[in-house]
Chain A
């Protein structure tokens, strides 16, 4: 299966001694990947706003009072933001681009409590279709089964009567 069908010697001559930087980059980016993805998503939002407002990167830099290089770094997703820069950015763009998730365990607990209370008060009883149908049925006392169709010729009762008829004498 792994028999090489190519000329290894000739191929080795072609291969350069300096390796590709791919593996190294993978290693270096692995740790701050989440961080990078977050700042990339932020960059996409900023790009969209700039497009919508027909604003150039240079104009943004001027409004934010930073160098154009810094803006370009932000838009490449390479910037590590401080709250100060985020504030400047939001003022310049007129949009809130970053929001903070507030973690409040007490509020969470209260919410859960409210939901539980609401659920128990309502207590919805789930019935099957058969159960629901049974509510509308009342069985009378004089109920007895009777065939809807009467087939005289196959009526077993009449046949039986015939057989029981005294024969002869």
Chain B
């Protein structure tokens, strides 16, 4: 496992994880997949039944594919914007973009698992998953097209949970957090 910097300014930044044996990091893989019509079409063909839920019933597989392609562009643009606007301003920081993965988490656990689904994207099912180190320091472990309520429901999102846990273990082993903060 390797941590690649995406955008770094001073001690803050966005990073992405590259799994062993991969040539691309997690974010690059998403960037490739979510702009590839063949991949998106196959995804909705295989997971057609997930679209039958009340929330997404209006979408045909084709429309869902187009929406995915379009939303992905917006999502990545927003991430880029957040990165480039710098991390010094108090008004806009990465903690607005990324929210805790578990809604009811009141305390701030070390290596908090986080997610991002873009700002004001209607019915967005695209998710980025990341580990929080600081207000403006996030490590992206992966992402997915989330059409179910719980991530455990489908294997491809359960895999993402595993990636998050893996990254947490990796950081823990290397003692990135200060002991007094634990």
Interface status of B24 (Cβ within 8 A of chain A): yes
**Which residues of chain A have C-beta atoms less than 8 A from B28's C-beta?**
20-22, 25
One of A36-44, A80-88, A126-134 contacting the partner: A36-44
Give Cα distance in the complex from A33 to B83, angstroms.
Answer: 20
Q: Are A19 and B36 in contact (CB under 8 A)?
A: no
Interface string of B32-54 (1 = CB under 8 A from A): 00011110110001000000000
Closest B residue to A42 by beta carbon equals B37
Least Cβ–Cβ distance between B172 and chain A, in angstroms:
11
Q: Are A77 and B36 in contact (CB under 8 A)?
A: yes
Which residues between 24 and 80 of chain A lie within 8 Å of chain B, taking CB atoms?
25-26, 29, 33, 36-37, 40-41, 43-45, 47-48, 51, 72, 75-77
| Among candidates A11, A19, A26, A29, residue contacting B133 with C-beta atoms closer than 8 Å | A11
| Among candidates B11, B62, B73, B178, residue contacting A44 with C-beta atoms closer than 8 Å | B62
**Which residues of chain B have C-beta atoms less than 8 A from A29's C-beta?**
35
Interface status of A23 (Cβ within 8 A of chain B): yes
Q: Are A7 and B37 in contact (CB under 8 A)?
A: no
Q: Are B5 and A15 in contact (CB under 8 A)?
A: yes
Q: Are A75 and B38 in contact (CB under 8 A)?
A: yes
Least Cβ–Cβ distance between B120 and chain A, in angstroms:
20
Least Cβ–Cβ distance between A141 and chain B, in angstroms:
64
Give Cα distance in the complex from A13 to B76, angstroms.
Answer: 27
Number of interface residues of B (CB under 8 A): 47
Which residues between 1 and 25 of chain B lie within 8 Å of chain A, taking CB atoms?
2-7, 11-12, 15-16, 18, 24-25
Interface status of B162 (Cβ within 8 A of chain A): no
| Among candidates B3, B11, B38, B70, residue contacting A47 with C-beta atoms closer than 8 Å | B38
B contact face: mostly helix, strand, loop, or mixed: mixed
Q: Are B175 and A7 in contact (CB under 8 A)?
A: yes
Least Cβ–Cβ distance between B174 and chain A, in angstroms:
6
Interface status of A2 (Cβ within 8 A of chain B): yes
Interface status of A99 (Cβ within 8 A of chain B): no
Q: Are A76 and B69 in contact (CB under 8 A)?
A: no
| Among candidates B35, B90, B135, residue contacting A77 with C-beta atoms closer than 8 Å | B35
Q: Are A15 and B15 in contact (CB under 8 A)?
A: yes
| Among candidates A15, A21, A25, A37, residue contacting B69 with C-beta atoms closer than 8 Å | A37
Sample of 7 A–B contacts (CB below 8 Å): A6-B137, A16-B5, A29-B35, A37-B70, A44-B62, A72-B38, A77-B37
